[in-house]
Structure 1
Amino acid sequence: MHTRLLDLLVCPLCKGRLYPNADHSELVCRGDRLAFPVRDGVPVMLEAEARVLPETEEFPEPT
């Protein structure tokens, strides 16, 4: 995913920054502990589609 697009996208709930995971299959909101899927290169920014991150899962490193 292009860095420029990541600069524009925010979490639909808290409006916080999103970070791609290691394989770029999800965009992670650290504040809400949600991971939004990326399907065929398109982020799915719906709360109903987001995965809740367990407390034990590490956040992706900021780029």
Structure 2
Amino acid sequence: MSFDPQHLQDIIACPKTKAKLVRDGDFLVSIDPASRLRYPIKDGIPVMLVEEATKVPQEEWAEIMKRNDRNPVSGELVS
């Protein structure tokens, strides 16, 4: 059974900033514009260790936010 972050959206968060996460392929990306951390999903399981996270470049993070209907500056939901 593979991981579906939509089912856990209200409880799963970035372990460093506690910000919500959005899925981008085989990664979960923090919506926090300051940290822009990306956590890998390996074999269907998210690796929620800060040591395993990588920082997403600003432009790439903004594109990920746009694809997830979020503001590319703040990461907040676009209404």
TM range (shorter): 0.7 to 0.9
The normalised TM-score by structure 1 is 0.81
Q: What is the aligned-residue identity percentage? A: 37
The normalised TM-score by structure 2 is 0.67
Runs of 4+ residues deviating >4 angstroms: none
- Tell me by how many angstroms 1:59 deviates: 2.0
Structure 2 stretches lacking a partner, 5+ long: 70-79
Q: Which has the higher contact order (CA 8 A, sep 6+)?
A: 1
Letter in 1 for 2:49: L
Structure 1 stretches lacking a partner, 5+ long: none
The equivalent residue for 1:16 is 19
Letter in 2 for 1:59: I
User: Would you say how many aligned residue pairs link Structure 1 and Structure 2?
Assistant: 61
Distance 1:6 1:42, change over 3 A: farther
Q: Supply the RMSD in Å over aligned alpha carbons.
A: 1.8
- Tell me by how many angstroms 1:40 deviates: 0.7
